[in-house]
């Protein structure tokens, strides 16, 4: 076990689609964790501490120990762009972004799955590039 102090966190219902997902981080020692945690507890109600003081290997295992649906929901959270205008009253979901995040977790989605998501989200097949059209070339006269 290293001299670092490891902590596993889990997202609460306050985190929306990320609820139930876990991650871990290391502090220099328990005193550093206690000092930082006292300041951040109230500032981050979307997080709860699952465990403290374990080895790196145990922290990795605990962080990975979540259901597939929990990971899937977090991937949707990454792919939905609430900052973009809603279409027909639905937020936009970027399918290619969803597929990349799912792939990072060893997951995939079928066309049938995308069709089901289209009931709640406006499906965007490829992100539109917000660039100006190139000017046509003009031949010298």
Looking up tokens 């970027």, which residue turns up? 94
Structural contact between residues 56 and 6, judged by C-beta atoms closer than 8 angstroms: yes
129 closest CA partner among 104, 77, 94: 94
What ranges do the domains of the chain cover?
Answer: 5-64, 68-124
The pLDDT of residue 43 is 79
More confident call, 44 vs 33: 33
Tell me what pLDDT residue 136 has: 41
Whole-angstrom distance, CA of residue 1 vs CA of residue 43: 30
Taking only the tens place, the pLDDT of each residue in 91-138 is 999 999 999 999 988 889 999 999 999 999 999 987 553 333 433 444
Q: Which pLDDT score is estimated for 139?
A: 40
Q: Which residue has the higher pLDDT, 139 or 59?
A: 59
Q: What is the DSSP track for 52-96?
A: EEE-HHHHHHHHH-S-HHHHHHHHHHHHEETTSPPBTTB-EEEHH
Q: Which candidate, 96, 101, 83, places its Cα nearest to that of 123?
A: 96
With H, G, I as helix, E, B as strand and everything else as coil, classify residue 98: helix
The tens digit of pLDDT for each residue in 87-101 reads: 999 999 999 999 999
What pLDDT does 60 receive?
Answer: 93
């Amino acid at each position: 076990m290293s001299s670092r102090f490891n902590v596993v966190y889990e997202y609460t219902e306050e985190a929306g689609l990320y609820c139930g997902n876990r991650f871990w981080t290391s502090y220099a020692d328990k005193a550093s964790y206690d000092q930082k945690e006292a300041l951040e507890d109230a500032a981050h109600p979307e997080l709860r501490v699952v465990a403290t003081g374990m080895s790196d290997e145990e922290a990795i295992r605990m962080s990975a120990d979540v259901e597939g649906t929990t990971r899937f929901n977090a991937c949707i959270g990454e792919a939905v762009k609430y900052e973009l205008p809603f279409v027909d009253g639905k937020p936009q979901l970027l399918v290619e972004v969803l597929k990349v995040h799912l792939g990072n977790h060893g997951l995939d989605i079928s066309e049938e799955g995308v069709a089901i998501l289209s009931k709640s989200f406006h499906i965007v097949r490829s992100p539109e590039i917000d660039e100006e059209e190139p000017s046509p070339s003009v031949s010298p006269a």
